[in-house]
Amino acid sequence: ASPRLSYEENCEIYGKCARPHGHGHNYHLEITVKGTIDPRTGMLVDLAQLQSAIDDHVVEPFDHTFLNKDIPYFEEVVPTAENIAVHIRDLLQAPIAALGASLYKVKLIESPNNSAEVYAAVPQSSERPQATPEFAMV
C-alpha cells in the first residue's frame, strides 16, 4: 500500500494487498545473466557464486520481512511485484558484474498467474535507485 494514499484509496487499488498489517507471498525469483563463456571453464559465471550473490543481496535481506517497514527502499515505493523486481535488478547489477557477467533479466513470480519481468539497462549512477515504468507480465 502507498503511504501517500488513504486506507480507502489503497483498498480500492490494491484490494487485500492493502491490509495495514501486511500479507505474505512465497516468491519465486529467476535471474538471467549474459556474457561470454570462458573457454577454460565452459561457464559464463560460476553458478555457486551467482547463487551466493543472490542470497546475500536479495534472499537474506528480504526473506520473512515486512517489505514496507523492513526494507528502506519500500518505505516510499509500493512493493508491487513490478517494483520489487526493479529493486532486485538495481541490487544485483554490480554484484553480477563483479562475477564477470551482466544481469540481463529479473523475473519475479508472485503466483502461478502473476509475474513481473524487468530487463537490466545501463547501470545507474550512484544515486538512490528509483522505480521506473517497466513492462510487466501479469
Edge to edge, the sheet with strand 102-111 lists: 28-34, 102-111, 114-119
**Active-site annotation holder among 9, 25, 28, 110:** 110
82 is catalytic: no
Q: Distance (Å, rounded) from C-alpha 120 to C-alpha 11?
A: 32
Of the residues 17, 25, 57, 134, only one is catalytic, namely 17
Active-site hit among 8, 21, 64, 127? 64
Q: How many CB atoms lie within 10 A of CB 83?
A: 21
User: Which residue spans within 87-138 are E strands per DSSP?
Assistant: 102-111, 114-119
Active site residue 30: no
Active site residue 28: no
Catalytic residues: 17, 64, 110
